Amino acid sequence: MIARGPLAMGLLTGKYSSDVTFPDGDFRRAWIEDEAQNAQFHQDLESVEQLNEVVPAEDTMAAFALRFVTSHPAVSVAIPGARNRRQAEANVAAGSRPPLTMEERDAVDSIVAPGDGRKIWPEVT
């Protein structure tokens, strides 16, 4: 999931909305100021809203994302980030949940098609 556009840089957390601002020097500021990136940002917000409808009640978006990643047959391990003990424990708990069902995977793919991600990191010049 992390490789897909709206699934990285904190977009899955729900902490961003269409009226978010970013400080000077933050490359995400282009998400607001650049017309093409702003259109992509709004599309990403819509995708996250749709993904929230797919997440089972017993999962958080983060747990669902980890389950998505580890459900892929080519993935043997996921290395999630955690800023505190609560997040680390939630990541461990997600690991004890079953892989996504085919229906759940298909639902995600219908929202963010495989290979339909985008590069979100800034160009290094």
Domain spans of the chain? 5-14+27-111
Q: What is the pLDDT of residues 10-46, one digit of tens each?
A: 788 788 888 998 889 888 888 899 998 899 889 889 9
CA distance 22 to 28: 7
Q: Give pLDDT tens digits for 42-87.
A: 988 998 999 999 999 999 998 999 999 899 888 888 888 888 999 8
Integer angstrom CA distances of residue 100 from 22, 61, 94: 34, 13, 11
Q: State the pLDDT at residue 74.
A: 87
CA dist., res. 63 & res. 87, Å (int): 10
